[in-house]
Amino acid sequence: MDYKKAKKYLLKKPETREDFPFGPEVSVFKVKDKMFATLALGKMGKGDGNGHLDWWMNLKCDPDEAVALRDIFKSVIPGYHMNKRLWNTIILDGSIPPGEIERMIDNSFMLVVNKMTKKDQASILKQL
């Protein structure tokens, strides 16, 4: 999955908007003003030395699942500039199946929604 497809999938989530509180180089995706994802060029533009830059996406994650995903996928690392227990960084280098990335996005979204008030949860869940 490339960053364009990831961004499109993130924005399809109900009541989600893109914001730039950390500057124009980091897209932050929020549901009802609660962050559930970020998307930016990896390590703020540092590439592989050959001019190649991968996009990095931070997603909220259950702590046990976060560790398991890091063990399974080389392109899943502890959350860059985030709480490493609760966030993973997914390097969008094509090595993770798109369906798995979508599942991780869905889980991040639901972890945030499940912490909202019952009223806010209901307004979002009826749109799924």
User: Looking at residue 9, what is its pLDDT?
Assistant: 98
Determine contact, residues 27/18, Cβ cutoff 8 Å.
Answer: yes
Question: What domains can be seen in the chain, in order of their start residue?
Answer: 22-115 (3.90.1150.30)
Residues with Cβ within 8 Å of 24's Cβ and at least 6 positions away in sequence, in order, are none
Mean pLDDT within 49-67: 88
How confident is the model over 102-119, as pLDDT tens digits?
Answer: 999 999 999 999 999 999
User: Looking at residue 48, what is its pLDDT?
Assistant: 58
Whether the model clears a pTM of 0.85, i.e. scores above it, the answer is: yes
Task: Please report the beta strands in 1-128, taking only residues with DSSP state E, as ranges in sequence order.
Answer: 16-19, 26-31, 34-41, 55-60, 76-78, 87-92
Mean pLDDT within 1-6: 94
User: Looking at residue 1, what is its pLDDT?
Assistant: 93
At 51, is the pLDDT very low, low, confident or very high (cuts 50, 70, 90)? low
Torsion sign over Cα 61, 29, 2, 89: negative
Average pLDDT, the chain: 92
Of 123 and 46, the one with more pLDDT: 123
Structure-block tokens of residue 62: 């259950």
